Structure 1
């Protein structure tokens, strides 16, 4: 096992040992922090921006690098990922840091209004960026210090125009280690309404889908999901079903359309995804809501063994901005544990990812259900 990565805290001449979460992932070469984290911390220290017990609001802190560096202040950290929350706690424990001054809130909760400084990691998702900036503008007072950070290549003129539009006068720093900072002067003269969920329809099955800002493929049905819902098989033979990595719930909703007697648990690591799935069940199958559970979780952590009949999964192949298959591998291992004997794991994936090898290694069997030039639907049965 590789040693944890070292994040230098220059002012106190200390090191933080940070791991990506979950800590047992196969690809240990992926860092739990980046140059943008370093830049924003070093800038704050050099400029001596903080007094004692400054109220800091931190957005999109993937594994706690920013929060850990400012542990002596009153920190509220906002993320849409339960894994990021768990990663923060894990890294605080790894470094024997107290969590007394840290408040973790989700992307669905109201922001505190007694904030002096906002430290903001720019998300990849433009819709989430806009919604977060509007919430900042509507919740915080003028004069609040706002500093954002990202890789320099991601900070385009269009990006800066978004900050300028929703927050106020915007400037940038020079690039350091291929990262840049964005500075905004909050201007509350104009009020913006938080965008409503994006809504669209599909015809087979007939569904209306609403999607909050950070939901994958929020504006249309992605081609992988389309391939999957066309190849769900005979779902009527199963009673207890999990839609793992549910996103907006399209797979579970398609199962309910065929099998309204099913009990379905929708699981995702995104708070907005799970909220979207719940909204979509309420809107499309209001009489079946009581048969459904909606859980934000790291895969199937703490689910009972031998407890469900089938798991349907469209696994991600990235975490934050890193391409990795460790989440899919964890999903497959958790599924094997949670499935009853003769239970089925059915997944969709890009052809080149080789998921059939991992599934066969776990289950001892794997069947190709359907394929096209880009996607495969695969099935394994727990013997």
Structure 2
């Protein structure tokens, strides 16, 4: 992995967290970061006023590190991005303080209106929409609002959101396949957020589930096909300690609670919005079982593994892990997340425990699981998806 970031005679060492799992071709910044930094530094040269900077969706902390001397507020929905920021700020011994806010924290926590808002265009348009709605309550007409993204991500839909929620919007010319978005805050209308979206589905035993989905939750509009295939095949007992890994809105964990009301469920996701949605959905559907549930923001299962006592097998008390792994991180397609999920699950499961995985056939998860667990069984399949089960021996 390339870690040497140099721009405008400044030099940083930047990593994508977790560095040990990253492909050597990846790096912690992109041309959109560079274009945004160059533009801001050029315009700041003629601005002697102290800048109050607000940063959204900084993938791995490059923007937070660069502007740390301005003591920016930094907003992210990603646990991995937050950990990347921690690693990079620490590694570079930076001056100033970066104040972190998760995406579920209200922007009203910010003491004063920002003079400069920097946005990396996220993958999910719904997340961008929610952030622009939130911005309406704290920005002023003289606030400079600049976004950056790859050319392919700066679509008419993206520009339409800026126009609708903020005001007149224009773009820069493309440079290194990235471009900037400039928006003026002129709207007098404060919009009501359309999020969370709410819909219902049935658990395996017919229990009706009401699912609330924050803006950045995976498959927030309907039950995703992986969960739809997985749910009828889930086997859960009251004595089980279950992990819903990459939980999203928590539908697999909710299905487990419907099937076995006395089981314990830990919901794990790297999205703070997902964890918040999962908790609200347990409160709505199974309030009596809330005390049996835990909600953990984590990169795969590392936050749980940190609590395992070395060489003490009985601390590995989880009996089942249900997982529908993602195959991308930010805008990069990668299999390292699935590999780490499988490895972490094996490390955390008790002997005799099971990892149950659903995924597209072409991803060949059975090869990874066989290497890790020594064997794998097909629980169910169709033309596109397969459910695999691996037991810890």
- Compute the TM-score of the two structures, normalised by the length of structure 2: 0.92
Measure how far apart 1:188 and its partner are. 4.5
* TM-score normalised by L of structure 1: 0.95
Q: Against the structure 1 CA distance between its residues 374 and 238, is the aligned structure 2 distance closer, same or farther, given a 3 Å change threshold?
A: farther
Contact 2:114–2:138 (8 Å) recurs in 1: no
| Alignment correspondent of 1:68 | 65
Give the conservation status (yes or no) of the 8 Å contact 2:165–2:187. no
Matched, 1:287 2:288: yes
Structure 1 residue runs without a partner (length 5+): none
- CA displacement 1:83-115 (0-9 Å, x = unmatched): 1000011112232324x4111110011222331
Question: Any conservation in 2 of the 1:60–1:122 contact (CA below 8 Å)?
Answer: yes
Please point out which of 343, 347, 371 is paired with 2:353: 343
Contact 2:163 2:183 in 1 (8 A): yes
Instruction: Verify the 8 A CA contact 1:300 1:331 in the aligned structure 2.
Output: yes
Contact (CA 8 Å) 2:239, 2:262: kept in 1 or not?
no
Equivalent of residue 43 in structure 1, options 23, 39, 50: 39
Aligned-residue Cα RMSD (Å) equals: 1.5
Deviations 1:24-76 (A, max 9, x none): 11422122111110000001112226547521100000101111111211111
Number of aligned residue pairs = 377
Q: 3-state DSSP class of the match of 1:236?
A: coil
Residue pairs, 1:242-321, within 5 angstroms: 242-303=243-304, 304-305=307-308, 306-321=316-331
Change (3 A) 1:312 1:355: same
* Within-5 A mapping of 1:132-147: 132-147=131-146
Equivalent in 15, 18, 23 of residue 19 of structure 1: 15
**Matches of 1:352 and 1:237, distance apart in 2:** 34
Tell me which residue corresponds to 2:333: 323
- Alignment partners' CA distance in 1, 2:24 and 2:61: 17
Structure 2 stretches lacking a partner, 5+ long: 309-315
Show the counterpart of 2:190: 191
Q: 1:207: Cα distance to partner?
A: 1.1
1:374 to 359, 384, 388: 384
Given that 2:171 and 2:182 are in contact with CA atoms closer than 8 Å, whether structure 1 keeps it comes out as yes
Q: Which residue of 2 aligns with 1:160?
A: 159
Matched residues in 2 for 1:372 and 1:240: separation? 29
Q: State how far apart, in whole Å, the 2-side matches of 1:313 and 1:136 are.
A: 34
Runs of 4+ in 1 over 3 A off after TM superposition: 49-53
SS of residue paired to 2:19: coil
Worse-matched range after superposition: 163-172 or 196-205: 196-205
